[in-house]
């Protein structure tokens, strides 16, 4: 009985810990266009995104970032990621990430929830 209660509590708290609003499963689908350039666990055209939520921008070792992103001083919390994914070039003028951005806020929150699940 006790384990059932703990289990239920854990199941209720887990999604909150991952993200307040976004849906990681939907975010995985919304991440499809990102895969052209990004992987988890290794750098590609774009930097490795494992553990990116909470990380300092342009801090992935071995990746050749633009001067713009290196000098941005950004830490990738959810608010900064949201602005970035809405319009990368507005958030960091001069970035070399060639992605127009997602106009849909829900989609962005879902992608961030998915990124947060990749630790």
Instruction: Kindly list the residues in this chain that would bind ligand HEC in the complex (CB under 6 A).
Output: 33-34, 36-38, 45-47, 49, 52, 57-58, 60, 65-66, 68-69, 76, 85, 95-99, 111
CB of 74 to ligand HEC, least distance (A): 8
Which residue, 3 or 93, has its beta carbon nearer to ligand HEC? 93
Q: Classify the C-alpha dihedral 69-71-72-76 as positive or negative.
A: positive
Core vs surface per residue 69-87: b (16+ CB within 10 A) or e: beebebebebebbbbbbbe
Which residue, 97 or 116, has its beta carbon nearer to ligand HEC? 97
CB of 41 to ligand HEC, least distance (A): 13
Contact 113, 27 (CB under 8 A): yes
Which residue, 6 or 29, has its beta carbon nearer to ligand HEC? 29
Q: Classify the C-alpha dihedral 104-91-79-42 as positive or negative.
A: positive
């Amino acid at each position: 009985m006790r384990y059932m209660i703990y289990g239920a509590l854990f199941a209720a708290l887990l999604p909150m810990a991952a993200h307040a609003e976004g849906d990681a499963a939907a975010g995985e689908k919304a991440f499809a266009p990102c895969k052209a350039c990004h992987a988890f666990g290794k750098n590609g055209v774009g930097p490795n995104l494992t553990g990116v939520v909470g990380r300092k921008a342009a801090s992935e070792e071995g990746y050749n970032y633009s001067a713009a992103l290196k000098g941005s001083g950004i830490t990738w919390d959810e608010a900064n990621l949201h602005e970035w994914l809405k319009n990368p070039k507005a958030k960091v003028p001069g970035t070399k990430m060639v992605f127009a951005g997602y106009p849909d806020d829900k989609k962005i929150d879902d992608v961030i929830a998915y990124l947060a699940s990749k630790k």
